[in-house]
A = this chain, B = another copy of it.
Amino acid sequence: MKKYQRLVQQIIDQIALGVWHPGDRLPSLREQVASSGMSLMTVSHAYQMLESQGVIVARPQSGYYVAPQPQARVPQPPEQIRRDEQVDINTYIFDVLQASTDASVVPFGSAFPDPRLFPLAQLNRSLANVSKYANAMSVIENLPPGNEALRHAIARRYAQQGVNVSPEEIVITAGALEALNLSLQAVTEPGDWVIVENPCFYGALQALERLRLKALSVATDAEEGIDLDALAQALNDYPVKACWLMTNAQNPLGFTLSPEKKQKLVALLSQHNVALIEDDVYSELYYGRDKPLPARAWDEQGITLHCSSFSKCLVAGFRIGWVAAGRHARRIQQLQLMSTLSTSSPMQMALVDYLATRRYDAHLRRLRRQLAERKQQAWQALRRHLPAEVRIHRSESGYFLWIELPPGLDAGELGEQALRHQISIAPGRMFSTSDTWHNFFRFNTSWAWGEREEQAAIRLAELIRQAISARTPLSA
């Protein structure tokens, strides 16, 4: 347990013991530094965690207070397993996504990281290089399963983590989204049951809808991830064919599953012989020292189809992703040849060229630092402006915050109002077929925090305050 975590636990224990009551003012940061002997950074980090967990609230120019009604952690969905015979979510998601392509909108709802964080000049140089040596036959060399050098480069990155993936089982795809969709199709038939997280990446719900699959949405905690007991229950009760989930920097919640939990997850699915479609697109966006392993690392039976891409960490526009598909590699190539035929040949070659420069790891280090800084900045600004009743769930990876409005408020309505002010957010209902998350929204922190963002945050705070006041008379 790290120092700040000890302090977090200590204060939680003190509140439980009645040392501090709801509404009490806690020691200030400086007082706490003096009394604990910890650094300002450690104490500040601990207070942030407590705040993001809803244990304490910050009041600007005043200090930190024990939350008025100490809440439990993120409320669990009313049902641990939600069952949908038919998924029908797509039109809503489409409308929200369309809004985020408008350049005049402040894209807090966007799924993309700020592309200005990517090494454009070097990528363009690689593109220019490809234009020098692409020849008439390149198209054949880049057909499924994809460019051989690229598949080798990807296999070597797995090897760096000690994960053995053969270049032969890798299929290059149009981003992770195609990899995930082909993987799901490879292991299911229409009408099959598939397990997803609740909440989950909306792309999973869209894929289920598109492929006419039935959904079992399993309760997923903002810090601990999927409820393994509920998962086991679902596996026992239904003839499940696949489980699609994110193990690292989950979208939208942000958690990274612990190694123990990844191991248990794989063991459980192996036991039921259920395919694990592991969506690992944020694997490079950890803030800690070491890159977290994929669940695939614990897979001894070959149940995992591990999907990732370069879109979130290097370049989105190239549309290059992959799946390490194990024994399903051939079937996935077949499905690809049937639907998009192949991934663009110059794009694959440009990536090979870029990776050969050996600048990728330096770029990733810089990117991670920038994303961490920007998340901290956005978090501070939001904490400053948003009403104290709004809880901000924060994770140490990726570029999302998961923001919880007071119960009864609707993030979907807030989103519609915000859009009239040229601000987008990603409402919780995009990420679930249940209404559990209607007062949540996902907030993209990857943008440089400038005057435009500051003003947008202030406007968002105003809208939330208005919604709270509009609600109060009714509930009073």
Which A residues lie at the B interface, using CB under 8 A? 90-91, 94, 97, 101, 103, 112, 114-116, 118, 120, 124-125, 127-128, 130-132, 134-140, 142-143, 174-175, 177-178, 181, 185, 190, 203, 206-207, 209-210, 212, 316-319, 333-335, 337-347, 350
Contact = CB atoms under 8 A, between A and B. Distances in A.
A185 B210 CA distance: 9
A184 B442 CA distance: 34
Contact of A339 (B143, B181, B317): B181
13 contacts: A120-B136, A125-B131, A131-B131, A174-B340, A174-B341, A177-B340, A178-B339, A185-B210, A207-B338, A316-B345, A318-B346, A346-B346, A346-B347
Nearest to A95: B334
Contacts of A94: 333-334, 337
Given A175-B341, A339-B178, A116 B136 contact: yes
A319 B338 contact: no
Contacts of A210: 185, 335, 338-339
Query: Which residue, of A112, A177, A206, A344, has the highest number of chain B Cβ atoms within 10 A?
Result: A344
Contacts of A132: 124, 128
Contacts of A350: 346
B103 A334 contact: no
Contacts of A120: 134-136
A139 B113 CA distance: 11
Nearest to A202: B338
A130 B132 CA distance: 13
B317 A203 contact: no
A124 B131 contact: yes
B142 A317 contact: yes
Of all A-B residue pairs in the complex, the 3 with the closest CB atoms, nearest first, are: A317-B345, A139-B317, A127-B131
B127 A334 contact: no
Query: Which residue, of A143, A333, A350, has the highest number of chain B Cβ atoms within 10 A?
Result: A143
A334 B97 CA distance: 10
A134 B115 CA distance: 12
Contacts of A185: 210
A101 B139 CA distance: 10
Contacts of A114: 136
A114 B130 CA distance: 20
A59 to B, nearest CB: 38
A140 B347 contact: no
A319 B101 CA distance: 23
Given A90-B338, A134-B317, 19 more contacts: A97-B337, A103-B140, A120-B135, A120-B136, A124-B131, A127-B127, A127-B130, A174-B341, A175-B342, A178-B341, A181-B339, A185-B210, A203-B338, A209-B338, A210-B339, A316-B345, A317-B345, A344-B347, A346-B347
